[in-house]
Amino acid sequence: QPGVLATVTAILQKHDISVEGLLQQGRAPGDVVALVMTTHETPVASMTRALDEMEQLPIVNAKPVAMPILPADMES
């Protein structure tokens, strides 16, 4: 559906979240499409507010999920 990505990124912008990478695989018109993003380092509170806002959108078919990614140089 045209405009979905723009809507999602506008919410991220509103919460001062910067996208680092994006994966969206095309499907047939009308099919549900998964959208996977990585962001630059972001406060958890900002991400939580953005996800809560996205969840309210009629274009979102499932609860948005955030998974923290640890830096590669982080010691075990």
Residue 17's contacts (CB-CB under 8 Å, 6 or more residues apart) are: 39, 40, 42, 46, 47, 50
CA distance 72 to 70: 6
The pTM for the full model equals 0.84
Segment 5-22, tens digit of pLDDT: 999 999 999 999 999 999
Segment 18-71, tens digit of pLDDT: 999 999 887 777 788 889 999 999 999 999 999 999 999 999 989 999 999 887
Domain boundaries defined on the chain: 4-55
Residue 14 belongs to what H/E stretch?
helix 4-14
